[in-house]
A and B are shown apart, each in its own frame.
Chain A
Amino acid sequence: MTKNNIKPSTQRGVSVFKTISKHRLFIPIAFLMFLLLLNIFIKPGFLRISLGRDSSGNPVLIGNLVNILNNATELVILAIGMTLVTASSKGQDISVGSTIAIVGGVIMRVLCGNETQPTELKAPIILAFLLGCLAGMVCGAFNGILVAKFKIQPMVATLILFTAGRSIGSMAMGGLKPKAVSSFGYYGNFIPGFPIPTPILITILVVAITYIALKKTNLGLYTRAVGINDRSSRLNGLNPAKIKFMAYVIMGFCVGIAGFVQSSRVQTVNPYTIVPGIEMDVILAVALGGNSLGGGTVNMAGSIIGAYTLQTLTSMLTTLNVNTNAVPVFKAVIIILLVAIQTPAVKNFFSNKAKVSKIISNQGKESA
């Protein structure tokens, strides 16, 4: 009797778990939670956030979580653009890191002119920001034309800027390596008197705009349609070339914002070493978010969570003082684990196991 009473409730529990685990955001969120829990387990003070003061006496928030949210900014913003690019053009833009070098070069040239240690800004910051975004969008448009109009594979098309971008950035700076005055640093650090790092606020703004754009416009739907089937979307009155081109220009805009934040962090840009290898991290963030790299899915929230997951991993490797030679291996092992869980082979294996155990338990009941 009692057995019968319990049975439906556990079944309901199982089914709730099933619906949760089937949600498209379940695996990305589970990864992030897993990493955070691992961190807390290793270093119990991991989540602690304290209010400190910087050397000028301004209040600032200090904590690993703040650092992760802060340092993931570029990754998150780029992942948003990359999701659209991946979904519509069935390929990735590998030129984002090099384009950031171009954006950074333009911004530094506008702010510093031809001096290496200018005592004042040569132009308003807003002008530098706008020109930086423009540079990013021009690069995006270049990639977009190659992909949408000339139908070159995205990875090949963006290989051009991937190869040349850092040199172009260096040329934009006139071969100098200037450092701008510290007031330019507000956008990559703190606004004096306000304890939350500015990049976090910028991230919130960009994510909010993206959310509204996906809710209120057909951006997501059209992008997905083009990515799933180019020809049928044209038959339905869409212009695939235009939508792909748009995705690359939006990517360029995202690169502009990310480049602005990045160059503001230390108020100087080194085109050859800025954001080393970020292209692969961004693509990985998109993949961890449950998006198909073959196009046709727009799981924006997943990509954003994927970006935070990667930053958590980076931060973790620092705080744990992993041996420097082992860092890439450590990172690779965790990423392989994360990706492997998502593959159909592993999923099927677990669901089959669940089925088998269910059958066995049912058989057990019948015989009893």
Chain B
Amino acid sequence: MKKMISLILVVMLMLSLAACGKDSKTTDKKNKKLTVGVVQTNANESDWRTANTNSFNKAFDEAGFTIKMVFGEGDHAKQISQAQQLIQEEVDYLVVLGLQSAGWEDVAKAAKEAEIPFIMADRKLDLSEDLYTAMVCSDFEEEGNKAVKWLKEQALDSYKIVVLGGDTGSSAQLGRSKAIEDGAAANGWEIVFNQNMKGWDETLAKQAVADLIAGGTEFNVVYAQNDNMARGACDAMDAAGITYGKNGDVKVIAFDANKWALEKVLAGEFNLDVECNPLHGPRIVKLINQLEAGETVPKNAYVDEEMFDCDTITQAIVDARSY
């Protein structure tokens, strides 16, 4: 009986090995549907992220690629192992949206050895140029600099700034924090509060601002590193009767520019919203098609991004926004 089972197992093993060999031999890149592995952060982190994920799914579907999307769900280490798994599955392209910017060298090297093009999207990772194929990212520091420039133009009597940071160590947080910290140092502004909220969420931002108000900290600018935290901060100011926005005492600056946030800009609740464009799908598809055709692609491409001021925004801009 035991012999029988072991014989069956051996036969099965041989068959499966044979299947492997056959598969890899007949793989013809031109006839096969391209498989693109996407390492996404979280499925539902924010409205921005939802628009981002949908953009990938839609664009890849239209281009006829097979998409293998995995979600890190807030876990940096998980993302790295997921990326390595995708490399072992021999995807044709690897697109990475990293939760943290550090620690991707091994993945990039493994991809290079397996001859899988490594594309960074959304957030720039700490990699030397020879390790990745291309990058389509938002320039977060530039976004922050736009906000700083706008803030300077407001010519307030004094600047007391509350900085609500995003997830510590993400490139969005690092870039946006650096911009305001440098801006404040250069212009002699006072940053009265500067801490990162876990998870870019309303609740923690709201509790932090409520604590600041209760503790008697005075501020006249809220620099929230995404729309959701700006909304949380506004909730806290509402509860304490502090006026904000277009006609209020506190200037509110938000990032990402979701549709609902632009509605708030239009309503004069947020003063400024700096866009962070989530529609990466079509850009990546274009990039992959160019690479397939053997064209050279720009190594470092930044996404064009605008900003929306409550004094200049129009209904048409809000209506045109799809996410």
Partner among B45, B73, B239 whose Cβ is within 8 Å of the Cβ of A167? B73
Please report the C-alpha to C-alpha distance between residue A201 and residue B174 in the assembled complex, in whole angstroms.
40
Docked-complex contact B211 and A60, CB < 8 angstroms: no
The 9 listed contacts between A and B (C-beta, < 8 Å) are A60-B239, A67-B214, A167-B43, A265-B206, A266-B202, A270-B46, A272-B42, A272-B43, A276-B204
- Whether A342 is near chain B, meaning CB under 8 Å from some CB there, is no
Docked-complex contact A272 and B199, CB < 8 angstroms: yes
Docked-complex contact A67 and B238, CB < 8 angstroms: no
Which of the segments A13-21, A122-130, A314-322 contacts the partner chain? A314-322
In the complex, chain A residues whose CB is within 8 Å of the CB of B193: 318, 321
Docked-complex contact B43 and A175, CB < 8 angstroms: yes
CB contacts between A and B, total, < 8 Å? 126
User: Min CB distance, A350 to chain B, in Å?
Assistant: 35
B27-58 contacts to A, CB under 8 A, are 42-47, 50
- Whether A327 is near chain B, meaning CB under 8 Å from some CB there, is yes
In the complex, chain B residues whose CB is within 8 Å of the CB of A117: 260
B164-200 contacts to A, CB under 8 A, are 165, 168, 192-196, 198-200
Sorted nearest first, the 4 A-B pairs with minimum C-beta distance are A273-B199, A319-B215, A266-B202, A324-B195
Please report the C-alpha to C-alpha distance between residue A191 and residue B46 in the assembled complex, in whole angstroms.
28
Please report the C-alpha to C-alpha distance between residue A45 and residue B273 in the assembled complex, in whole angstroms.
35
Docked-complex contact B211 and A166, CB < 8 angstroms: no
In the complex, chain B residues whose CB is within 8 Å of the CB of A170: 43-44
B binding-site residues for A, Cβ under 8 Å: 42-47, 50, 73-74, 165, 168, 192-196, 198-204, 206-208, 210-217, 228, 231-232, 235, 237-243, 260
User: Min CB distance, B58 to chain A, in Å?
Assistant: 14
User: Min CB distance, A7 to chain B, in Å?
Assistant: 47
| B42, B194, B203, B217 interface centre (most CB from chain A within 10 Å) | B203
Please report the C-alpha to C-alpha distance between residue A270 and residue B217 in the assembled complex, in whole angstroms.
29
- Whether A186 is near chain B, meaning CB under 8 Å from some CB there, is no
A289-323 contacts to B, CB under 8 A, are 315, 317-319, 321-323
Which of the segments A50-58, A131-139, A218-226, A247-255 contacts the partner chain? A50-58
Docked-complex contact B207 and A177, CB < 8 angstroms: no
Please report the C-alpha to C-alpha distance between residue A176 and residue B73 in the assembled complex, in whole angstroms.
16
A41-74 contacts to B, CB under 8 A, are 43, 45-46, 52-56, 60, 62-64, 66-67, 71
User: Min CB distance, B139 to chain A, in Å?
Assistant: 22
In the complex, chain B residues whose CB is within 8 Å of the CB of A64: 211, 214-215
Please report the C-alpha to C-alpha distance between residue A43 and residue B74 in the assembled complex, in whole angstroms.
35
In the complex, chain B residues whose CB is within 8 Å of the CB of A270: 44-46, 199, 201-202, 228
Please report the C-alpha to C-alpha distance between residue A115 and residue B108 in the assembled complex, in whole angstroms.
40
A272-B73, A325-B168 given; A262·B211 CB < 8 A: no
Please report the C-alpha to C-alpha distance between residue A268 and residue B46 in the assembled complex, in whole angstroms.
11
In the complex, chain A residues whose CB is within 8 Å of the CB of B217: 319, 321
Number of A residues contacting the other chain (C-beta, 8 Å)?
Answer: 49
Closest to B205 in A: A266
In the complex, chain B residues whose CB is within 8 Å of the CB of A67: 207, 210-211, 214
Extra contacts, 16 of them, besides A55-B238, A270-B228 (Cβ < 8 A), are A60-B239, A170-B44, A173-B44, A175-B50, A177-B44, A177-B47, A262-B203, A265-B206, A270-B44, A272-B42, A272-B43, A273-B42, A273-B199, A277-B198, A318-B212, A325-B168
Docked-complex contact A318 and B195, CB < 8 angstroms: yes
Closest to B74 in A: A272
Docked-complex contact A266 and B211, CB < 8 angstroms: no
Docked-complex contact A324 and B196, CB < 8 angstroms: yes
Docked-complex contact A55 and B241, CB < 8 angstroms: yes
Docked-complex contact A318 and B43, CB < 8 angstroms: no
In the complex, chain A residues whose CB is within 8 Å of the CB of B204: 276
Docked-complex contact B239 and A175, CB < 8 angstroms: no
In the complex, chain A residues whose CB is within 8 Å of the CB of B237: 55
In the complex, chain A residues whose CB is within 8 Å of the CB of B215: 43, 45-46, 64, 318-319
In the complex, chain B residues whose CB is within 8 Å of the CB of A266: 202-203, 206, 231-232, 235
- Whether A31 is near chain B, meaning CB under 8 Å from some CB there, is no
- Whether A143 is near chain B, meaning CB under 8 Å from some CB there, is no
Closest to B216 in A: A45
- Whether A99 is near chain B, meaning CB under 8 Å from some CB there, is no
- Whether A190 is near chain B, meaning CB under 8 Å from some CB there, is yes
Please report the C-alpha to C-alpha distance between residue A341 and residue B222 in the assembled complex, in whole angstroms.
40
Partner among A52, A274, A318 whose Cβ is within 8 Å of the Cβ of B211? A318
Please report the C-alpha to C-alpha distance between residue A53 and residue B239 in the assembled complex, in whole angstroms.
8
Docked-complex contact B239 and A189, CB < 8 angstroms: yes
In the complex, chain B residues whose CB is within 8 Å of the CB of A275: 203
Docked-complex contact A62 and B199, CB < 8 angstroms: no
User: Min CB distance, A72 to chain B, in Å?
Assistant: 11
Please report the C-alpha to C-alpha distance between residue A116 and residue B263 in the assembled complex, in whole angstroms.
14
Please report the C-alpha to C-alpha distance between residue A60 and residue B238 in the assembled complex, in whole angstroms.
11
- Whether A81 is near chain B, meaning CB under 8 Å from some CB there, is no
In the complex, chain A residues whose CB is within 8 Å of the CB of B239: 54, 60, 189-190
A54-B241, A318-B195, A318-B208 given; A273·B214 CB < 8 A: no
Please report the C-alpha to C-alpha distance between residue A167 and residue B74 in the assembled complex, in whole angstroms.
12
Docked-complex contact A54 and B195, CB < 8 angstroms: no
User: Min CB distance, A62 to chain B, in Å?
Assistant: 6
Closest to B198 in A: A276
Interface string of A193-233 (1 = CB under 8 A from B): 00000000000000000000000000000000000000000
In the complex, chain A residues whose CB is within 8 Å of the CB of B201: 270, 273-274, 276
Docked-complex contact A273 and B43, CB < 8 angstroms: no
Closest to A52 in B: B241
Please report the C-alpha to C-alpha distance between residue A173 and residue B168 in the assembled complex, in whole angstroms.
27
Docked-complex contact A273 and B241, CB < 8 angstroms: no
- Whether A144 is near chain B, meaning CB under 8 Å from some CB there, is no
- Whether A271 is near chain B, meaning CB under 8 Å from some CB there, is yes
Docked-complex contact A273 and B198, CB < 8 angstroms: yes
Please report the C-alpha to C-alpha distance between residue A324 and residue B231 in the assembled complex, in whole angstroms.
21
Please report the C-alpha to C-alpha distance between residue A63 and residue B203 in the assembled complex, in whole angstroms.
18
A270-B46, A274-B201 given; A53·B211 CB < 8 A: no
Please report the C-alpha to C-alpha distance between residue A55 and residue B238 in the assembled complex, in whole angstroms.
5
In the complex, chain A residues whose CB is within 8 Å of the CB of B44: 170, 173, 175, 177, 270-272
In the complex, chain A residues whose CB is within 8 Å of the CB of B42: 272-273
In the complex, chain B residues whose CB is within 8 Å of the CB of A166: 73
Docked-complex contact A268 and B202, CB < 8 angstroms: yes
Docked-complex contact B74 and A273, CB < 8 angstroms: yes
